[in-house]
Structure 1
Amino acid sequence: MIYFDQAASSYPKPPEVGEAMVHALNNIGANPGRGSHQLARQAALIISETREKAARLFGCSDPRKALFFPNATAALNQAIKGITWSAGDHVIATVLEHNSIRRPLEYVKRKYGVEVTYVNWDGDTAAFEQQIWQSIRPGTRLLAMTHASNVTGSLLPVGQAAMIAREHSIPILLDASQTAGHLPLNMQDMGIDMLAFPGHKGLLGPQGTGMLLVEGTIDMEPVQHGGTGSFSEEAENPEQWPEKFESGTLNTPGIAGLNAALNVHESEQDGNVPRETILGQLLRKGLQSIDGITCYGPDKENYQLPIVAFNVLDIASQEIAMVLDSHYGIAVRAGLHCSPLAHDFLHTTEQGVIRASLSKYNTEEEVNRFLEAIQEITESYKML
């Protein structure tokens, strides 16, 4: 199997990830923060080490504000729904948002009367900045945006957006689901107030892990309430971080795996272009050379993520994905990718798109085999 669905969930993982998870499961097993015995302390140490490491790697000044969640979706829900909203409040987002941002925004829009503006991104930074400027109102409470499109891999100008947000004292929430692990991220350097990311994509960690990192004095109400292992006599969740937002038993084996993934990620940072990005460039160039293929997203000069979105002639994207899987043993993602506004913008709502996404474990040989398969498929459909 050639696995080109890394943007959905990375595979394979570094061996250290599985080893750390098995150790936590088989040799520790206890509930962190729910006891003083040695196994509970060992479990708590895994949690605190990972929290501190993530805060350091991503530029969050207070590790207590590095919060664990089951995935980026839960983290984004906490960031958005945790704000105290009032009718007439306003949020700016983009047309490239995953439903993990769009649906929580539509929820607070419906429930509280919040207004939402979705700005376009077509690669023109000046036009993007202008749209944000023009969208700001006295009631704008949040700028929520993806760092890169999960559909096309297009990278958005977060730095410029953050500068505008700071000038108007508007907090910015960044969805780094596609960039964490691929690109350097530092909240303080970038001017990011809240950063959400999953463990299982570019960081090569396990599924069931995600984090929300909060910088500065932003406060939120917890979305989930329950046992926190401390302050048990109180009727409400404790006010202190991180306990305020981490009700229930944490996924200690998963967080142990995430800790190992962060270790591997940190050890491999050398300032060079990631290997998977180079492979993605080869893949995109090869697809663009095939007659009948339409590629979507950034041009060569702006291409930085190992994601390529394309279609074959006018054939449904799901059909092409099925052929790749059944006849060639190649796994890709096809359809609308949980980002319907992006497809409206790309005019691909009916056809969807095929998304090929790579990691450092993919090879140039796999890229060449993939291109040969697409060439054969395209030629076959032309003959029909």
Structure 2
Amino acid sequence: MIYFDHAASSYPKPEQVAIAMHEAVASYSANPGRGGHKLAEQAREVIEQARKKIATMFGAPNKKHVWFYQNATMALNQAILGFPFQEGDHVVATMFEHNSIIRPLEKLASEKGIAITYVEPNEEGIIAVEEFEKACTEKTCMFAISHASNVTGAVISISDVSKIAKEREIVVLLDASQTAGTIPIDIEKDAIDLLAFAGHKSLLGPQGTGVLISKDDYNLSPLVVGGTGNQSELLHQPHSWPNRYEAGTLNTPGIAGLSAGIDAVVEMGIEDIWKHEKELMDHFLKGLAGISGVSSYGPSDLSKRVAVIPFEIDGVESHEAAMILDEHYQIAVRAGMHCAPKTHQALQTSEKGLIRVSFGPYNTIKEVDTLLEAIEEIRMAFL
């Protein structure tokens, strides 16, 4: 199988990820922080080391600012639904948001009466920085934005957006699910307040891992309360971090695997990973341009996008094309709406959806050529 669905979840994982997860289950499968015995302490130490690695990679003040969740969706829900919004508050998002941002915001619009502005992309498929400033009102208190679109790969210049936010004392929530592990991100340098991302995409960790990093205290209300392993005498959720935002037993095997995935990313080098994926994207787009009846979407300036490319084949429904690629060519892609309805609304592809190809660090030019040959054969078959 040739795997081109890294925007959904990376595959294959580095061997050390599986080794670390197996060791967690086979050698110290105790409850982290729930007891003073050696196995519980070993599990706790593995989690704390992972927390420290993430804090270092993303420039968090310290490891206590790093909170683990089941996925990026839960992390984003904690950031959005837990934020102390008041009726009439205003949030600026974009048309490129995933439902993990759209749905919590729309829930708050319905239940709390917040207002939302979704910034439109320009003709080049980019969300222009100045559009954020135009969208602001006196009630704007948050920018909730995806660093890169999971459909077109278009990247937002977060440091420039953050400058606008800081001038107006607006909190910046960044969904880096498509960029963490591919593009360098630093909370301090990029002036990000809340950073959420998945562990199972470009960080090469397993599914069931997500992270929210909070730069400062934004008075978030914890969405889940319960056991924390210490301060058990309290009848309310502890105020200390990370306990306040991590009720219940953590996914020790998953976090151990994520820690190993981060090691692999650091070993390969984020800049080298980006360069490799950009070369694959450039090769694919050039090849796609030579096939008649095939159209692609996204910025033409490859420095402003990650290796996520949506396209369509004239006369072939997107799901049918993906099924043919899977069954006849053993090539895995993603078709449909990609959990991003407003993106497809902006692209005017809501009725038919698109085929999405997304590259990872282990893909090769030869695999891309195989995909291009398959697309051309499919196109010819439907003439």
Q: Name the residue aligned to 1:335.
A: 336
**Cα distance in structure 2, aligned partners of 1:85 and 1:197:** 22
**Cα distance in structure 1, aligned partners of 2:127 and 2:234:** 51
Deviation digits for residues 103-137 of structure 1, max 9, x if unmatched? 00001111100111100123669972332112211
**Cα distance in structure 1, aligned partners of 2:258 and 2:213:** 15
Cα pair 2:82 2:220 within 8 Å, conserved: yes
Q: Name the residue aligned to 2:70.
A: 70
Q: Name the residue aligned to 2:325.
A: 324
Q: Name the residue aligned to 2:58.
A: 58
Instruction: Output the amino acid matched with 2:169.
Output: S
TM-score, normalised with respect to structure 1: 0.97
Structure 1 position 212 matched with structure 2 position 245 = no
Structure 1 position 21 matched with structure 2 position 59 = no
TM-score, normalised with respect to structure 2: 0.97
Q: Name the residue aligned to 1:92.
A: 92
Q: Name the residue aligned to 1:161.
A: 161
Cα pair 1:182 1:274 within 8 Å, conserved: no
Between stretches 17-26 and 358-367, larger displacement belongs to 358-367
Cα pair 1:176 1:195 within 8 Å, conserved: yes
1:328 Cα deviation from its structure 2 partner? 1.0
The aligned runs of 1:118-137 (5 Å cut-off) are 118-122=118-122, 128-137=128-137
1:307 Cα deviation from its structure 2 partner? 1.2
Cα pair 2:182 2:271 within 8 Å, conserved: no
1:347 Cα deviation from its structure 2 partner? 0.4
Cα pair 1:4 1:331 within 8 Å, conserved: yes
Change (3 A) 1:127 1:246: closer
Between stretches 135-144 and 46-55, larger displacement belongs to 135-144
Q: Name the residue aligned to 1:237.
A: 237
Change (3 A) 1:255 1:115: same
Between stretches 259-268 and 37-46, larger displacement belongs to 259-268
1:217 Cα deviation from its structure 2 partner? 3.3
Instruction: Output the amino acid matched with 1:372.
Output: E
Q: Name the residue aligned to 2:263.
A: 263
> Which residues of structure 2 form unaligned runs of 5+?
none
Deviation digits for residues 172-215 of structure 1, max 9, x if unmatched? 00000000111111111111111111110011110000100111
1:230 Cα deviation from its structure 2 partner? 1.2
Q: Name the residue aligned to 1:79.
A: 79
Structure 1 position 361 matched with structure 2 position 365 = no
Instruction: Output the amino acid matched with 1:7.
Output: A
1:364 Cα deviation from its structure 2 partner? 1.1
The aligned runs of 1:162-311 (5 Å cut-off) are 162-269=162-269, 271-272=271-272, 273-311=274-312
Instruction: Output the amino acid matched with 1:132.
Output: F
Change (3 A) 1:244 1:42: same
1:308 Cα deviation from its structure 2 partner? 1.0
1:271 Cα deviation from its structure 2 partner? 3.9
Cα pair 2:183 2:270 within 8 Å, conserved: no
Instruction: Output the amino acid matched with 1:241.
Output: W
Question: What SS does the corresponding residue of 1:61 show, helix, strand or coil?
Answer: coil
Instruction: Output the amino acid matched with 1:277.
Output: K
Q: Name the residue aligned to 1:31.
A: 31
> Which residues of structure 1 form unaligned runs of 5+?
none
Cα pair 1:147 1:176 within 8 Å, conserved: yes
Question: What SS does the corresponding residue of 2:77 show, helix, strand or coil?
Answer: helix
Instruction: Output the amino acid matched with 1:147.
Output: H
1:227 Cα deviation from its structure 2 partner? 0.7
Question: What SS does the corresponding residue of 2:296 show, helix, strand or coil?
Answer: strand
Between stretches 228-237 and 52-61, larger displacement belongs to 228-237
Structure 1 position 313 matched with structure 2 position 338 = no
**Cα distance in structure 2, aligned partners of 1:143 and 1:265:** 29
**Cα distance in structure 2, aligned partners of 1:356 and 1:224:** 36
**Cα distance in structure 1, aligned partners of 2:341 and 2:103:** 11
**Cα distance in structure 2, aligned partners of 1:269 and 1:26:** 30
Structure 1 position 148 matched with structure 2 position 161 = no
1:62 Cα deviation from its structure 2 partner? 2.2
Equivalent pairs counted in the alignment come to: 382
**Cα distance in structure 1, aligned partners of 2:36 and 2:275:** 43
